[in-house]
Amino acid sequence: MKKSVYSICGMCTVRCPIRVETENNRVTWIEGNPHLLGGALCAKGSAGTALIDDDERPRQPLIREGGRGAGRWQKVSWPTALDYIADKLKGIKKEYGAESLVVSSRGGPWQSIFKTFCHAFGSPNYTNHDNTCGRNTHHASLSINGVGRKGFQYDIKNAKHLVLFGRNTFASLRIAENLQIMDMLEAGGRLTYVDVRQSMTGLKASRFFQVRPGTDYALLLGVIHEVLKRGIHDQAFIDRYVSGFDELRAFVEQYTPTWAANECGVKEKNIKEFVDEIAEDRPRVIFHPGWNLSRYKDSFYAS
Ligand code: SF4
């Protein structure tokens, strides 16, 4: 029997909405939810059927027999596997205490299940991949804006200029956001892309800065210097909401576009042209924080 089912993609943590066709309980087709994404999905999401059909993936719990690397596995049922893990955890708790348990999950919408389990066990030690991923950007946003990086909604569709740092969004990222970027580009908006290498997103961008690894911060300092020098910032907003602005002005005084160009390996004239563009497009300019500025030791500042 054929069925059409609405679900969410599990191929990455974004969890895009999908529509799935099945026949006799086998998945035959996956596409983006037509009501929300017009059917679009990234390559990873579309390959979801391949994951299900992969006959080399474990299809039931396996318990290792013998030493590590021996390659011997015993197939067991789920109740047996759960009892096995529960016994191990009880033993660990008895010998080392509940706090010796650390639970790490992928993050995303189901992390509360993992957290609840961890806390019910008696350990506060829950973590997820975010700590080695977007955390610097998150903390930078918290310290500047009072809310983390996920506390914003971006009206990309109606923006005139979107600036991305290493956010290779067209390769495989939020589909809804990509559709908005396409709408923005079709309406004449500009996309500036900063990365250490060319990418699919860089190819679609109206401006591509190929910077030396770890120099995004230098580029941004040069841009801030030029913006303040030209006086194209929003003074009314700053007067009302910003503290420490004079310190920022004094700090970036030394970081000219000439200096930034030298650090980043890009042309000074291109930095100045970029500032011309954001001056023309303001206030509908989005510097998207993403999470790919989080990879360097100066990431907190760059973000
Ligand atoms: S970005 Fe791609 S892989 Fe991730 S949830 Fe959306 S469709 Fe799936």
176 pocket-lining for ligand 1 (C-beta < 6 Å): no
Q: What is the pLDDT of residue 302?
A: 83
Given a cut of 80, whether residue 234 has pLDDT beyond it is yes
Q: Give the distance (Å) from ligand 1 centre to CA of residue 16.
A: 5
Q: Give the distance (Å) from ligand 1 centre to CA of residue 203.
A: 21
* 106, 128 Cβ separation under 8 angstroms: yes
| 2-53: CATH architecture | Single Sheet (2.20)
257 pocket-lining for ligand 1 (C-beta < 6 Å): no
Given a cut of 90, whether residue 295 has pLDDT beyond it is no
Given a cut of 80, whether residue 293 has pLDDT beyond it is no
Closest Cα to atom 1, ligand 1: which residue?
Answer: 173
Closest-CA residue to 10 (of 59, 47, 57, 38): 47
Closest Cα to atom 6, ligand 1: which residue?
Answer: 16
Q: What is the pLDDT of residue 13?
A: 78
Domain ranges of the chain: 2-53, 62-130, 155-287
Q: Which two tokens stand for residue 88?
A: 């191990």
Q: Give the distance (Å) from ligand 1 centre to CA of residue 249.
A: 41
Instruction: Tell me the DSSP string of 3-29.
Output: EEEEEE--SSTT--EEEEEEETTEEEE
User: pLDDT tens-digit profile of 254-267?
Assistant: 999 999 999 999 99
Q: What is the pLDDT of residue 185?
A: 97
Distance CA 21, CA 194 (A): 39
CATH code of domain 155-287: 3.40.228.10
**Percentage, residues of the chain above pLDDT 90:** 70
Q: Give the distance (Å) from ligand 1 centre to CA of residue 46.
A: 8
Amino acid at 38: G
Q: What is the pLDDT of residue 130?
A: 81
166 pocket-lining for ligand 1 (C-beta < 6 Å): no
Closest Cα to atom 5, ligand 1: which residue?
Answer: 15
Q: What is the pLDDT of residue 220?
A: 96
Q: What is the pLDDT of residue 230?
A: 97
Cα angle value 277/283/286 (rounded, 5°): 75
Average pLDDT for 18-37:
94
Q: Give the distance (Å) from ligand 1 centre to CA of residue 97.
A: 39
